[in-house]
Amino acid sequence: MNTVVFACMDADTLGGIQQVTHTVAQGLALRGHEVHVVGLHRAPDPFRYVERPLYEHHVVQRRLLGEGRRGAARRRVSRLLSSLGPGYAVLTSPGVVSWLADLVPARLRVIGQYHGSFDHARGTSHFASVRRDYLNLDQAVFLSPDDAWRFAEEALLPNATDLPNPLRSWPGKTSFLDVPRVLGVGRLAAVKRFDRLITAFARAGRTQAQWELHLIGDGPELVRLRSHAAGLGVAGRVVFRGRVPASEIGQEYLNGSILGLSSEHEGLPLVVGEAASYGMPTVAFDVSGGVRSLVRDGTTGVLVPPADVDAFTGALGGLMADPARRRRLGAAARAHAESFRLERVLDRWEELFARTRR
């Protein structure tokens, strides 16, 4: 079996990169690989993703990288990597690639991940970082075939490939889709644009008075979003649930009927896959190849143009009013989500390792 190292800027913040890293690390460890998860600095508010990890977990320094001694931190990472046998170093973001790639010994093949979308990267410094720093890696891994193709074409990356994020588990039960409840799941941060979801719900709900919108998550936008719901006259029908433990999130999907994804940008939003695994359709803004890989418009859910709240309102209202269509799309969503099951994604990781080794 192989040695596999996953390196993150910090490995323990509550976030998508961290969740995926720990999920895949535990899965590969269960398959017999020697796995290490490295955080380059300590998370301010650490979150425990795996109760009994079978992998080694390392934190390089307590302070943020910019606040500590860069040379000392790099020496600590170099000593760790030099102590490991042959295998693979998975660098999970452009920041980690630029900070760490030159320290990886030759016996570790270097795989760079990018967890964002091409569309988002193109408008930020990420595009230049990926084009510059991922070119000479053994593999550059993106979240969807569309993202990989566009990076290959426009960033001139001959090593681009795609590998999706996995679902943590696969439920034995599915939602009946009969509870009049729309779900919004994620951190209450500006980029998630839950204000647009609340607006669409308020408009669609004018003729669907029994429906509620439940927002699951916490964050800095809570006060503003409460005020926004009150201003639209739906304060009593928008329920702010706060952070729900991972062990209880399945019950939320079982008690929901539609997922609303209103983000400004997304890489590959796991909440869509999780909802789909419970047989729930999604209404989403078409903001990335990752979203399109999860939501097949008209088949497993509904996609609308980015930021088009009127179109989102129409799609949401249509599903709220049509239980038969919800069930049809939800069944197709669950079937489609099979390809994101953990075991299938782990198979693809091992195929990537074998391909990289040749």
Which domain covers residue 142, as residue numbers?
3-166+341-357
Question: Distances from the Cα of 119 to the Cαs of 31, 126, 151, 311, in angstroms?
Answer: 35, 11, 10, 21
Judgement on whether residues 95 and 185 belong to the same structural domain of the protein: no
Judgement on whether residues 143 and 226 belong to the same structural domain of the protein: no
pLDDT at 66 (0 to 100): 60
Judgement on whether residues 330 and 345 belong to the same structural domain of the protein: no
Look at residue 172 and tell me if it is in a domain. no
Judgement on whether residues 349 and 335 belong to the same structural domain of the protein: no
Asked whether the beta carbons of 264 and 193 are under 8 A apart, the reply is yes
**Residues of the chain by 3-state class (helix, strand, coil), percent to 5:** 45, 20, 40
Q: What is the C-alpha to C-alpha distance for residues 200 and 308, in angstroms, rounded to an integer? A: 10
Look at residue 171 and tell me if it is in a domain. no
In degrees rounded to 5, what are phi and psi of residue 101?
-55, -40
pLDDT at 65 (0 to 100): 62
Judgement on whether residues 201 and 287 belong to the same structural domain of the protein: yes
Look at residue 54 and tell me if it is in a domain. yes
Look at residue 173 and tell me if it is in a domain. no
Asked whether the beta carbons of 265 and 120 are under 8 A apart, the reply is yes
Judgement on whether residues 195 and 146 belong to the same structural domain of the protein: no
Judgement on whether residues 246 and 282 belong to the same structural domain of the protein: yes
Judgement on whether residues 232 and 318 belong to the same structural domain of the protein: yes
Count of C-beta atoms within a 10 Å radius of residue 171: 15
pLDDT at 203 (0 to 100): 98
Look at residue 348 and tell me if it is in a domain. yes
Q: What is the C-alpha to C-alpha distance for residues 227 and 294, in angstroms, rounded to an integer? A: 32
Cβ-count burial 328-357 (b if 16+ within 10 Å, e if not): ebbebbbebbeebbbeebbeebeebbeebe
Return the amino acid letter for 185: V
Judgement on whether residues 286 and 331 belong to the same structural domain of the protein: yes
Look at residue 175 and tell me if it is in a domain. no
Return the amino acid letter for 258: I
Judgement on whether residues 148 and 223 belong to the same structural domain of the protein: no
Mean pLDDT by 10 residues, the chain (358 residues): 94 89 98 96 88 95 68 89 96 96 96 96 94 97 97 96 95 97 96 98 95 96 98 98 90 98 95 97 97 97 98 98 98 98 98 90
Number of domain units in the chain: 2
Judgement on whether residues 345 and 335 belong to the same structural domain of the protein: no
Judgement on whether residues 79 and 191 belong to the same structural domain of the protein: no
Q: Which CATH number does the domain housing residue 284 bear?
A: 3.40.50.2000
- Locate 29 and state its tokens: 């460890």
Look at residue 176 and tell me if it is in a domain. no
Look at residue 254 and tell me if it is in a domain. yes
Q: What is the C-alpha to C-alpha distance for residues 4 and 86, in angstroms, rounded to an integer? A: 9
pLDDT at 312 (0 to 100): 98
The single residue listed with the structure tokens 């009127």 is 310
- Supply the pTM of this predicted model: 0.91
